[in-house]
Structure 1
């Protein structure tokens, strides 16, 4: 029995979308908040709106605008700001799931020119899928890995069986009450990717999952995707895994360092 895993992309809508990642001269739609429509919720700088360009058929597409400042990103937010942002996003993601209107609800983030995004201004997306249950494509092994840090009900690991390939970080919590710890770990990993990764990296994705009664955030540095994965679904792992683990521990989980 085949499983439906295809979304129909509405090209006529997609061609109208702004692309401020590749064209910096385009006026940022998220900086001019007075022009926003279909606002679903607002909490200080955080705004959840319906996507102005809903390119995916049979979905509800929303955008979570993270900040007023077009130049800020997760690596530069104040710690408390980061915790409030994650709480705001996860609460809405879970609320969408609880409505029962969708087969599944995806919560993710694109950042940078290799991430698949089009808007430079920091944002995340929550999308209700009416025809697809993404959990049918998940496996426990996607979230297994070498432990980098474990504390206060939160595990951070480096995936030993990455879904796409090379370097994938998993941040796993058992309870929504541990979101502040997840936020702290997430900010450290994003900072590492953008500033201290073993090769220059300007892009990443975040993917959130509710899996086996846990909440997981998978963080993936993004480059041009390997043709082995595109053509054959063959993922690869790095031969620098132990080095990456030690580097992250040294920089972000050493009590002698500023966290």
Structure 2
């Protein structure tokens, strides 16, 4: 398969504000009256063009999730949770359907190990001119131990063939219509990572995929990446996946653990 690389503009990157580690830095997303290039507003949600488009040959937008700088996906009230994901998924799929871009990616960074720079809760929707992200997607990376599922509805699993390695949570639904349990399962995965994970975790990513009529979200707790993956592309699978799946079922779905 032909390798593809995104090109990063370092001169723009050097100007980006950073408020995840630098707690004294002013948050650009809190200064809502100063925001420019706004695409759509659904209070308190704002979609706008990225002021620092570091990726070349790409159309970059930012989805500000809330007017609360300390808000978090893991604790959003259900009404706001569904409003946010209806809004985000609609704009992502609309940009994809426009046919302007070869592919459109939708993702979220949270925490100091996530690769993000702004602490204020937000996601990004990026149209790629020359790269089709789906060429790097293997369907088996969404396979896993079932934690919860709805009949003819969303499914929540723990990857048995993770993309990068160790623990990755998958949520899937059909693209026919938005289903509320999709966002609720995603919220549970994030809440578990931040509050019940067996290793202290303060960072995660959420990646969305639109493949063969289905929408997938992959929720990945972030730690220092294993050198076996960095150097050789070898994902590792831990030996306690069954335990973790049962633990999630016990905590969030009141399913007794097996002996």
Superposition TM-score tier, normalisation by shorter sequence: over 0.9
Determine the structure 2 residue equivalent to 1:149: 148
| SS of 1:177 mapped into structure 2 | coil
CA contact 1:4–1:132 (8 Å) conserved in 2: no
CA contact 1:144–1:161 (8 Å) conserved in 2: yes
Distance, in Å, in 1 between the alignment partners of 2:85 and 2:178 is: 11
In the TM superposition, residue 76 of structure 1 has moved relative to its aligned partner by: 1.3
Distance, in Å, in 1 between the alignment partners of 2:157 and 2:23 is: 35
TM-score calculated relative to the size of structure 1: 0.96
TM-score calculated relative to the size of structure 2: 0.96
Distance, in Å, in 2 between the alignment partners of 1:5 and 1:254 is: 45
Determine the structure 2 residue equivalent to 1:165: 165
Determine the structure 1 residue equivalent to 2:124: 125
Determine the structure 1 residue equivalent to 2:101: 102
Determine the structure 1 residue equivalent to 2:49: 50
CA contact 1:106–1:127 (8 Å) conserved in 2: yes
* Alignment of structure 1 residues 173-252 onto 2, 5 Å: 173-252=173-252
In the TM superposition, residue 179 of structure 1 has moved relative to its aligned partner by: 2.9
CA contact 1:176–1:215 (8 Å) conserved in 2: no
In the TM superposition, residue 80 of structure 1 has moved relative to its aligned partner by: 1.5
CA contact 2:249–2:255 (8 Å) conserved in 1: no
Distance, in Å, in 1 between the alignment partners of 2:175 and 2:91 is: 16
Q: Give RMSD over aligned pairs.
A: 1.2
Deviation per CA, 1:78-127: give whole Å up to 9, x if none: 01110110110000000100111100000000000000000000000000
Deviation per CA, 1:234-255: give whole Å up to 9, x if none: 0001111111101100011127
Stretches of structure 2 that go unaligned for 5 or more consecutive residues are none
CA contact 2:86–2:178 (8 Å) conserved in 1: no
* Number of residue equivalences: 255
Moved over 3 A (4+): none
Stretches of structure 1 that go unaligned for 5 or more consecutive residues are none
Deviation per CA, 1:177-206: give whole Å up to 9, x if none: 243110111111111000011111000000
